[in-house]
Structure 1
Amino acid sequence: MTPTHLPGRVAIPSLPEQTRTPPSPNALEPFNTAPAAEVRQTLLTCLRSPRWADRLADHRPYPDLDALLAASDEAAYDLSPADLAEALAAETLPVLPEGIYGAAHTALNAANAAYEAKFGHAFIICVDDLPPAEALDQVLHAIRSRLANDPDEERVVTAEELRRLAKGRLVRAVRSAGL
């Protein structure tokens, strides 16, 4: 069976890559020494905000992963509402393991449609810390509970989830050292 994709977007990371092995101490060398344009392209796969990517690329070199992640947080906290809207607009539904949407497709589709109608952007949640088997249930629970938020509350929650997503993607990008 091929995966069914929802017409809406729910930004969650690819589930099979949920390991927590820290990169080696010299893992940042390729990141720190790669051409700026290449680093920016990699960073844009982590968070689709040119302002965030430029800021991280421009402040290289980073002594270690903790410094890079702290800079990532700081840059994400400084994004304007327009920067956040731009990043949210670029989020897409990832390809998930086969059958992941089988039983929950209708519920997730309805909840996502209600969320996008109310807030005008993709539902964002980071499930990096959850076992893959629990991720879909958590997404459904979170989207339903966050529908009760007012727009200002949800903007804060969404920005925090987007920041968490960016950090997880950044760790995976550094770990792959494909720069």
Structure 2
Amino acid sequence: MEHFNAAPEEDLAQALLSCLHSHRWTGRVADHRPYPDLDSLLAAADEAAYDLGWSDLTEALAAEPLPALPPDTYAAAHTALSAAHAAYEARFGHVFVICLDGVSPSETLDRLLEAIRSRLTNDPEEERTVVADELRRLAKERLVGALRDAGNCALDHSGPAPAR
């Protein structure tokens, strides 16, 4: 936490944007430093995410990669997932996001397809609520990962955190 609290603003902003690409969220999390511990940081990150409006979430969604499949996934699965993503984007106008924290690689494909198919039945307002929750979960997961990966380097990342 010392490194996070002492990181230069520009470096911290870059690292936070890799967790959730929302300038409003990044500013809120950075502005409340110093944090006494990880739980306090995660609570602040969660609170800042709850305060985001749809335009902030749209900004974050624009930078989100599609959820990745394990490298050994067969071609037909990629085709099925691409078709599901296309149907989702046609219905809601943005990429599908899901936090797969704790899902084993062998379950990733089934979980993704099940979630997309299920969420395609949501009305747009209901889906916005689900999307906001998934983005909050992704941000917290990525923030924990960034802190873990940083070790003794104050959140020095050269690229965005991986989607899960």
TM-score (norm 2): 0.88
Q: Which has the higher contact order (CA 8 A, sep 6+)?
A: 1
Query: What is the match of residue 133 of structure 2?
Result: 160
Match of 2:42 among 39, 59, 69: 69
How far the C-alpha of 1:103 sits from its partner, in A, is: 3.5
Query: Is residue 141 of structure 1 aligned with residue 85 of structure 2?
Result: no
Structure 1 segments, 4+ long, off by >2 Å, are 93-103
Aligned length: 152
User: Could you say what the CA RMSD is over the residues aligned between the two structures, in angstroms?
Assistant: 1.3
Hey, what's the Cα distance between the residues in 1 that align with 2:61 and 2:6? 29
Hey, what's the Cα distance between the residues in 2 that align with 1:34 and 1:65? 15
1:96–1:112 Cα change, 3 Å: closer
Letter in 2 for 1:81: W
Match of 2:63 among 86, 90, 95: 90
How far the C-alpha of 1:99 sits from its partner, in A, is: 2.5
Letter in 2 for 1:64: D
TM-score (norm 1): 0.81
Letter in 1 for 2:53: S
Match of 2:91 among 102, 113, 118: 118
Unaligned segments of structure 2, at least 5 residues:
155-164
Letter in 1 for 2:100: V
Letter in 2 for 1:36: E
What percent of counterpart residues are identical? 66
Hey, what's the Cα distance between the residues in 1 that align with 2:11 and 2:32? 15
Deviations along 1:130-159, one digit per CA (max 9) or x if unpaired, are: 112111210110000100000000000010
Query: What is the match of residue 12 of structure 2?
Result: 39
- The SS at the match of 1:103 is helix
How far the C-alpha of 1:100 sits from its partner, in A, is: 2.9
